[in-house]
Amino acid sequence: MSLNCIKIPHKKNTENCKTKRYTIPKTVSIPMCQHMGAPCEPLVSVGDEVKVGQKIGDSEAFMSTPVHSSVSGKVIEIENILFANGRECKSVKIECDRKQTVSENVKPPVITDKVSFIKAVRESGCCGLGGAGFPTHIKLNFDENKTPVDNLVINAAECEPYITSDYREMMEDPEDVINGIKTIQKMLKIEKVYLCIEGNKPKAIDLLSNMTSKDNSIKVVKLSSLYPQGAEKVIAYNATGRTVREGELPLNQGIIVINVSTVAFLNRYFKTGMPLTWRRITIDGDAVKSPCNVKVPIGVSIAELLKFAQCDESKVKKVLTGGLMMGMCVYDLNTPVIKTNNAVLALKKDKKSPQTNCIRCGRCINACPAGLMPTELEKAYAQKDADRLKSLRVNLCMNCGSCSYVCPAKRNLAETNQLAKLFVSEKG
Amino acid sequence: MEKLIVSPSPHMRSGMTTQKIMLNVIIALCPAVIASGIIFGLRAIFLILVCVATSLVWETLFNIITKKPNTISDLSAVVTGILLAFNLPPSLPFWMAAIGTFVAIVIVKCLFGGLGQNFANPAIVGRIVLMLSFTGAMTNWTLPQAFQITDAVTSVTPLVNQKEDYLDLFLGMTGGCLGETCALALIIGGIYLIIRRIISPITPLFFLLTVEVFSVVAGADPLYQILSGGVLLGAIFMATDYVTTPITFWGKVIFGIGCGIITCVIRFYASMAEGVSFSILIMNILTPYIDMITKAKPVGAVYAKKKEE
């Protein structure tokens, strides 16, 4: 048995573009909530001098991770930022001095055991770089007695169209990927590692297979090039054959799923002690003239990135952070780049096909990787039937968007599922 | 720059639309349309055109009267028109055909909320209403043009006389409804739809298989039972209608088997010669229940076995 998947266009225009360096801009704005969980409180105030890698935000909440400065310069404002998903938080605006003086606190962490390892991961400011932004130190800090973990799944599927930042990570910094995997494997005493790459990246598969050929505990898995192979539950199932059950995490099945760029970053941090201050981003879309991959300091505005890739702003209708299938719209081009943005896409048009009634063709049911019935969910939500929504397991929807993609009637099924989830949770 | 568009994901849709699906069904029906013209002459083509035109007119009128946006561009009315025409004898008066399309489009489809909301196949109900209202005209089987020398000779459907050989049946050189006789054309259309992934082969396969098995058990000629009457037309084009048939894999299996059994029961043991339309109608009505019992099981779903602990 395999989970439902769909074919979508790949559009990997930037797969052969070597990552460019981005010049330090005049100002950056570094938001205090770039991860899943509680936002940080700024540790600096207006007028303070900051250096690269200096911690500028932290939180005492369990589910959080610190924020560091990506530039050296002077704090000129603590502003409020509203993201398109409705999340609002403080953001530290820094005027860059372009010297990029590195903070004296940046030094390789001393890691001796699991406790110091987890502490180092937290101090790195790391969160899931694939897009969800789950704080990495929480993911890795499992209780061996309650939920023993024997499988580490490295997510390098990159199933969204356009995005190639994970692929470039593997091609340009394969040592970081492999050494990062080995460190995690050693510290957490994990038996088996599955490095899962979609079949549309044969070079990465060859490269990493050769590099791990002597290590029997690391297996490079070639996934079929379908969407959404990179969804956590899907990749966990395809790598290990274990099904993550309702209301549980892959952890409960003894699996940790972690993004390939996250692993590579962690290795760089263990080597240099430089926290998460930049990331690799794909800039693409039909409105972008020279699509590319760039190493971008966190906090650079999306407008500047688009200018960097020679995007004609007058033609842009829609700008996304993330991919075409799950990316989030940007309503203001001054929005800064955050840790979880793996791509910025600028699109010329937003084609809206006319909607018809559902014709019950069943394409959404055959597309849903969670085995749900989106058309039935839509009807249940229209009737505001919370019990039926629950029995159809709307909570298992991962918002991959496959149902909306395949629907010939152009129903907004994925959107309805999100509304339905909210409705069910409000009903209690 | 204008304001940026903000909308929920996904930001990409497949090229498949309702209109394209219907267009593919129309393309798949074309071989049978041409075959009917060859077998029964120009009048058959005219009858098809009358059915399509009146279907479009009824839907437009209904939408005007109820102040709804016109929906004929989805092409489903064209499909219904052709399918109803396929279920009529070539000699049927045009005004009767128009009544048939009125029942199909307005009563069965539009009054229930339009495309996707009807519980039964419009063309089948249209045919059944005509059958019960104008039994004489609806069973006035003309022989194929090829056999006609002077005037149209009336004959009986092969299900009644059971004399034609297999090749004539396969090519449709026999009396019957205008779209159901040529097995070859229907099969070509069906294969096209399966290749284009418009329909799933499950329902037709189980429908035909059940008719075969039942015929063997009942001592009838299994090949004859499939090639004559409306089994192929029903199995390929009516039992695969998205709206009125089950949506899940096992639902389609049950639907196909159910149609096969009811068809054979009517053919062998009831007073009527043909049972395809009634079998599909009955299974249409059962569809919501079939869907209910064959509901997909979500991946990783945990079902509470007992409430108290």
Prediction ipTM score? 0.88
CB < 8 Å & 24+ apart, contacts of A382-385: A384/A423
| Chain B residue set in contact with A, beta carbons under 8 Å | 1-14, 16-18, 20-21, 71, 74, 76, 113-117, 242-243, 247-248, 295-302
Q: Locate the DSSP E strands across A112-260.
A: 151-156, 192-198, 218-223, 255-259
CATH domain B18-292 topology: Ammonium transporter fold (1.10.3430)
- Within this chain, do residues A304 and A264 fall inside the same structural domain, yes or no? no
Q: What is the CATH number of the domain that holds A71?
A: 3.10.20.600
Paired tokens of B107: 């009563």
How many other β-carbons are positioned within 10 Å of the β-carbon of residue A420?
26
Whether B8 and A333 lie within 8 Å, measured CB to CB? no
A97 to chain B, closest Cα gap in Å: 31
- B197/chain A closest Cα distance in angstroms: 10
| Between B139 and A159, residue with greater pLDDT | A159
Q: Which amino acid is at A314?
A: S
pLDDT tens digits along A271-319: 999 999 999 999 999 999 999 999 999 999 999 999 999 998 888 999 9
The per-residue pLDDT for B228 is 83
From chain B, pick out residues whose CB is under 8 angstroms from the CB of A328: 9
Q: Indicate if A101 and A51 belong to the same structural domain.
A: yes
User: pLDDT digit string (tens) for B64-82?
Assistant: 999 999 999 999 999 999 9
Angle value at C-alpha B225, between B219 and B230, nearest 5 degrees: 150
Boundary of a domain, candidates A244, A272, A300: A272
Judged by CB atoms closer than 8 Å, whether chains meet at B301 and A375 is answered as no
Q: Where are the alpha helices (DSSP H) in B174-273?
A: 183-195, 202-218, 222-227, 231-233, 249-269
Find the closest chain B residue to A399 by CA distance.
B9
Write down which residue in A242, A272, A302 finishes a domain: A272
CA distance B261 to chain A (A): 25
**Band of residue A30 on the pLDDT scale cut at 50, 70, 90:** very high
Residues A64 and A28 in one domain: yes
In a domain, A355, yes or no: no
For CA atoms B56, B61, B64, B67, the dihedral sign is negative
Query: Cβ separation of B11 and A357 shorter than 8 Å?
Result: no
For residue B144, give the DSSP letter.
P
How many domains in chain A? Answer: 3
- Average pLDDT along chain A: 93
Q: State whether A138 and A268 are in the same domain.
A: yes
**How many Cβ pairs closer than 8 A exist between chain A and B?**
152
Sheet harboring A20-21: ordered strands across? A20-21, A292-297, A278-284, A343-347, A318-321, A328-330
Residue type, A316: V
CB-based contacts of B58, cutoff 8 Å, min separation 6:
B77, B101, B102, B105, B106, B110
Do A281 and A264 fall into the same domain?
no
Q: Which residue has the tokens 């909301």?
A: B117
Residues A82, A158 within the same domain: no
Classify A68 as helix, strand or coil.
strand
pLDDT score at B305? 64
Q: In this structure, what token pair is assigned to residue A283? A: 């800039």
Q: Considering chain B, what is the average pLDDT of its residues?
A: 89
What residues of B are in contact with residue A372 (Cβ under 8 Å)? 296, 298
Residue whose C-alpha is closest to residue B48's, from B173, B231, B179, B232? B179
How far is the alpha carbon of B21 from chain A, nearest alpha carbon, in Å?
8
Do residues A296 and A250 share a domain?
no
What are the structural domain ranges in chain B?
Answer: 18-292
Q: What is the torsion angle, in degrees rounded to the nearest 10, for the CA atoms of residue A168, residue A169, residue A172 and residue A173?
A: -170
The answer on A232 and A155 residing in a single domain is: yes
Residues A390-406 have pLDDT tens digits of 999 999 999 999 999 99
Residue A111 CA to residue B94 CA, distance in Å, equals 88
Shared domain check, A253 and A280: no
What's residue B161's pLDDT? 58
Helix (H) / strand (E) element for B158: namely helix B158-161
State the residue range of the domain holding A406. 363-427
Chain A nearest-CA distance from B118, in A, is 10
Per-residue pLDDT tens digits for A306-331: 999 999 888 899 999 999 999 999 99
Give residue B309's pLDDT.
40
* Contact by Cβ (8 Å): B141, B89: yes
Across the interface, whether the CB atoms of A357 and B296 are under 8 A apart is answered no
A282 and A313 both lie in a single domain: yes
C-beta separation of B110 from B72 below 8 A: no
Which of A314, A350, A359 has its CB closest to that of B1? A314
CATH number of domain containing A145:
3.40.50.11540
